[in-house]
Structure 1
Amino acid sequence: MTEASADYDVLVCGAGVAGLAAARGLGDLGLRVLLLDKQRAPRAVAKGEVLQPGALRVLRRWGTEQLLRQRGGVGLDRLVVRSREGEALMALDYGRLPEGDRGLLAHDHREILTALTEGLGPCVEIRRGTLVREALRAADGRVSGLVLAGGEGGGDRVVRAPLVVAADGISSRLRRAAGIEGRRTDYPHRLVSVELTAAGPAPADFSAYLTGRGLRLVYPLPGGRIRLYLQTGPDELRGLGGDAFTEWLARAVGQVPGLAGLAPCLADAAVTRQLFSVSRYLAGRFTVPGLALVGEAGYAVHPMAAQGMNTAITSAAALAEQLARLLPATATVDAAARPRLEAATVDAALAAYQAERRPFLASAARTSANAARMVTDLAWPGRVIGRRAVRCTGANPRLLHTVTHNMAGLGPLPLTPLDRLQQIGLLPDPRAHRVPVNS
């Protein structure tokens, strides 16, 4: 094993949205960041395409939101749960949120990655096609670097840094190496995604349709394209390819009258098919000395809630903000004036990051899990309770405001046990119309 000559302040493992956002936030502090990814190029993935207001606050500060809008990003102002016929049962109206936070933005996942990459400053170096084998530990057990494959003579090599960021996904090797435990739950269904070209006007919002066979989710993409997700059984599409899949897709869409306008767009959709397993995960903690978890390495949710990519961005920004508080004032202005990053400074920032992020993400996980359960549970009790919750929440302005605020990623407004009973109509809500004004 050979020792790498380069020395960095931060090593980021994973160049998805979480890793790129972490590299951007930490690089902007004047820190020397090495961003590593095993893939040689970003892949086109049909998820992580809808940005919530909380994440857009961060991207606006970085100039990334403006870049995405210039490149055709589609603005949306509502997230709607609908009946099969298209009736709006619960509409999250982002126009009622504070000024500057009144909308979502939809764009292709790879375009979001590209925009984040283009915003990286000179302090960030990217190495793609590099496999991270394991975390390096100091004598006291602190994470102090990474072991990379592909050193001189084919051996491994070591890169050292006082801060390592694990942004390597839900199966994170670095999380496991750090001994961080959590609970992963696999949903009893899969999601299949197809991309359509609109024959007429594209959908105007992010709409989830409730059906007897599960979720049907639709939203617009740039260039008059439409993303359609369909819930399937674990083996429902096994062996279905080509014409057989096209027939299955036509039946699945035909069973939802509210989606009748998509029928003419289905003929060429089969070639865009992507199938996803769906899980949720929340780590027991988000740091150990020398290491922080960002994105799906620490937190993963059902795509229906459009929370995963957004909390990855806000978590990356939160990590950078906690470290910025402890750095000398000159560090963010003049990298040459910044002293060497010390382990004690890093670990103090990690403690603050853990204290702030853990309750925030635990709340977001509950919100996302409840939202997914309401629209995907096919068991009779779950369907009855889920439909009641959708209708009762949709008819209660106070609860609707709370759910919208939480889904937007603007900070948790907790739902009390009393609120939960009112959500399913078991108790009246005398405060139903007490909605904060633009707050």
Structure 2
Amino acid sequence: MSGDRGPDGPVEADVVICGAGVAGLAAACALGRHGIDVLLLEKQRSRPPVAKGEVLQPGSLNLLHGWGVLPALEARRAVRLDRLVARRADGSELLTMDFGQLDTDRPWLLSHDYVTILECLEGALGGTVRRQHGVLVEDLLRDEHGRVTGVRTGGGDRREIRARAVLAADGRSSRLRRLAGMTADPVAYDHRLLSFELAGTPPVTDEVSTYVTDRGMVMVYPLPDERIRVYVQVAADELRKADQVRLRQWCRQLVADVPALGPLAGLLEAGLGSRQLLPVFQYWAPSLVRPGIALVGEAAHGVHPLSAQGMNTAIGDAAALASRLAGVDLGDRAALDGALRAYEGERLERIKDIHSMSHNAARMMTSTSRGGRILGRRLLSGSARSGRLRHQLTYNMSGLGIRPLGTLDRLFQLGVLPDRRRAAVAAR
């Protein structure tokens, strides 16, 4: 429909998407499969490597298969992971979530580099999707009633782009969210994550291992080409101004604190040059839409990386929005805004549930206080004793849906009450 006219002048696209991260590319992919004319704008000209968004859940894999993205990821040697395992510092098991028990076509996780995931999404964009890099969106266009009707770009490419709808996929500090009058209040956790990418590593098992230790959380999982990702929880100023001698001492102390990392000791020291220090936030926007505009991905929500839900929730946002817009006359503003409100109604409760689940998991595994550590390990051990609870937690982590834990479930986890259905597995 590009080039036709709306009430305010020529329309250059049905939908303008601002931001070409996972949320923006997934939205473009999903909308393009419905034949919707999309213009995808990204301010960066190239993609810097970043240690985020590397683990895809079964729910996302089902969507990516439908979009033609999954075969490309598998062709580029994505790694299948069967389990999420919480372990003590010595490597002994606290709780295992086995995705092979789920009733789904793809009962596993998939890991790959964030940039590769973006490239595979971009490679699956349909013929109705146009993309432009190096374009900074500075402002929203509005009609006389305040409805969003497009965007204004800045820098050396100043122009007005009119569209029937605008999607804000411009991340946690979303400019478009603010311009549209929507809010989100990112809250920083009291720790950060230090990321390592280790090359030439010994083989590791096909799982995401999270070590729950007195010093905080350590997460380890394999990446393609015999690499391993390691995240280490650190205090905000733990390594401030540390020189190489101090960093090597820190690595040795880490292995002393977490003996299960012993086989990686030398590789951690060798990988100090690859480290990235990542801030960690949690938030969700109480509203996802205004007339003519919707939020997707990190413009709408953010969770602790521990539960690997952020990227997967963004992919779910894209699929839900595309299904609401498919078949709607996008030139009918009332129908379009009704579809956007339906998207908000569908996703907002799901986002809240995912936020709550992720935050609870983070508190359980990252607490460094004595009471917090004891409580977290008790909850993990209590869940491990019940096959029913293990299955429910695995399902919730999978991206297939959310079955929130009730008050009785929490008491079962704590061991206050016996779970008389602990051997049962929820109906599939």
Give the TM-score, by structure 2 length: 0.95
Indicate the residue corresponding to 2:358 in structure 1: 368
Q: Conserved in 1, the CA contact under 8 Å of 2:14 and 2:38?
A: yes
Instruction: Find the residue that maps to 1:98 and give its secondary structure.
Output: coil
Q: Give me the whole-angstrom Cα distance separating, in 2, the residues matched to 1:261 and 1:204.
A: 16
| Match 1:419 to one of 409, 413, 416 | 409
Matched, 1:65 2:67: no
Instruction: Find the residue that maps to 2:167 and give its secondary structure.
Output: strand
Instruction: Find the residue that maps to 1:261 and give its secondary structure.
Output: helix
| Match 2:54 to one of 49, 53, 56 | 49
Indicate the residue corresponding to 1:123 in structure 2: 128
Matched, 1:355 2:345: yes
Indicate the residue corresponding to 2:42 in structure 1: 37
Instruction: Find the residue that maps to 2:273 and give its secondary structure.
Output: helix
Instruction: Find the residue that maps to 2:47 and give its secondary structure.
Output: coil
Offset at 1:262?
Answer: 0.8
Offset at 1:129?
Answer: 1.1
Q: Conserved in 2, the CA contact under 8 Å of 1:4 and 1:158?
A: no
Offset at 1:101?
Answer: 3.1
Q: Conserved in 2, the CA contact under 8 Å of 1:181 and 1:284?
A: yes
| Match 2:376 to one of 380, 386, 402 | 386
Instruction: Find the residue that maps to 1:251 and give its secondary structure.
Output: helix
Q: Conserved in 2, the CA contact under 8 Å of 1:4 and 1:159?
A: no
Q: Give me the whole-angstrom Cα distance separating, in 2, the residues matched to 1:384 and 1:22.
A: 42
Cα-Cα RMSD: 1.7
| Match 1:202 to one of 201, 204, 211 | 204
Indicate the residue corresponding to 1:188 in structure 2: 190
1:171-200, Cα deviation, whole Å (9 max, x unpaired): 111111122123422100000101112442
Q: Conserved in 2, the CA contact under 8 Å of 1:203 and 1:226?
A: no
Q: Conserved in 2, the CA contact under 8 Å of 1:151 and 1:157?
A: no
Gaps of 5+ in 1: 328-339
Q: What pairs up with 1:199-238 in 2 under 5 angstroms?
A: 199-238=201-240
Q: Give me the whole-angstrom Cα distance separating, in 1, the residues matched to 2:389 and 2:160.
A: 52
Q: What pairs up with 1:9-408 in 2 under 5 angstroms?
A: 9-150=14-155, 156-326=158-328, 341-408=331-398
Indicate the residue corresponding to 1:331 in structure 2: none
Offset at 1:251?
Answer: 2.1
Offset at 1:23?
Answer: 0.8
1:356-413, Cα deviation, whole Å (9 max, x unpaired): 1011111111111111111101122222211111110111111111111111111111
Instruction: Find the residue that maps to 1:223 and give its secondary structure.
Output: coil
Instruction: Find the residue that maps to 1:15 and give its secondary structure.
Output: coil
Instruction: Find the residue that maps to 1:162 and give its secondary structure.
Output: strand
Q: Conserved in 2, the CA contact under 8 Å of 1:311 and 1:409?
A: yes
Matched, 1:430 2:409: no
1:268-305, Cα deviation, whole Å (9 max, x unpaired): 20111101010001110111111111101111000010
Q: Give me the whole-angstrom Cα distance separating, in 1, the residues matched to 2:380 and 2:343.
A: 34
Q: Conserved in 1, the CA contact under 8 Å of 2:18 and 2:24?
A: yes
Instruction: Find the residue that maps to 1:41 and give its secondary structure.
Output: coil
Q: Give me the whole-angstrom Cα distance separating, in 1, the residues matched to 2:90 and 2:127.
A: 52
**One-letter identity of the residue aligned with 1:370:** N
Q: Conserved in 1, the CA contact under 8 Å of 2:33 and 2:67?
A: no
Q: Give me the whole-angstrom Cα distance separating, in 1, the residues matched to 2:410 and 2:148.
A: 42
Offset at 1:264?
Answer: 3.0
Instruction: Find the residue that maps to 1:266 and give its secondary structure.
Output: helix
Instruction: Find the residue that maps to 2:278 and give its secondary structure.
Output: strand
Q: Conserved in 2, the CA contact under 8 Å of 1:51 and 1:106?
A: yes
Q: Conserved in 2, the CA contact under 8 Å of 1:197 and 1:224?
A: yes
Gaps of 5+ in 2: 1-7
Q: Conserved in 1, the CA contact under 8 Å of 2:143 and 2:149?
A: yes
Q: Give me the whole-angstrom Cα distance separating, in 1, the residues matched to 2:245 and 2:227.
A: 22
**One-letter identity of the residue aligned with 2:227:** R
Q: Give me the whole-angstrom Cα distance separating, in 1, the residues matched to 2:171 and 2:155.
A: 22
Offset at 1:43?
Answer: 1.6
Instruction: Find the residue that maps to 1:428 and give its secondary structure.
Output: coil
Residue-pair matches, total: 421
1:197-217, Cα deviation, whole Å (9 max, x unpaired): 244212321010011110100
Q: Give me the whole-angstrom Cα distance separating, in 1, the residues matched to 2:11 and 2:50.
A: 33
Offset at 1:325?
Answer: 4.5
Q: Give me the whole-angstrom Cα distance separating, in 2, the residues matched to 1:246 and 1:133.
A: 44
Give the TM-score, by structure 1 length: 0.92
Q: Conserved in 1, the CA contact under 8 Å of 2:392 and 2:426?
A: no
Offset at 1:342?
Answer: 3.0
**One-letter identity of the residue aligned with 1:169:** G
Q: Give me the whole-angstrom Cα distance separating, in 1, the residues matched to 2:411 and 2:185.
A: 27
Q: Conserved in 1, the CA contact under 8 Å of 2:215 and 2:368?
A: yes
Offset at 1:4?
Answer: 10
Q: Conserved in 2, the CA contact under 8 Å of 1:135 and 1:177?
A: yes
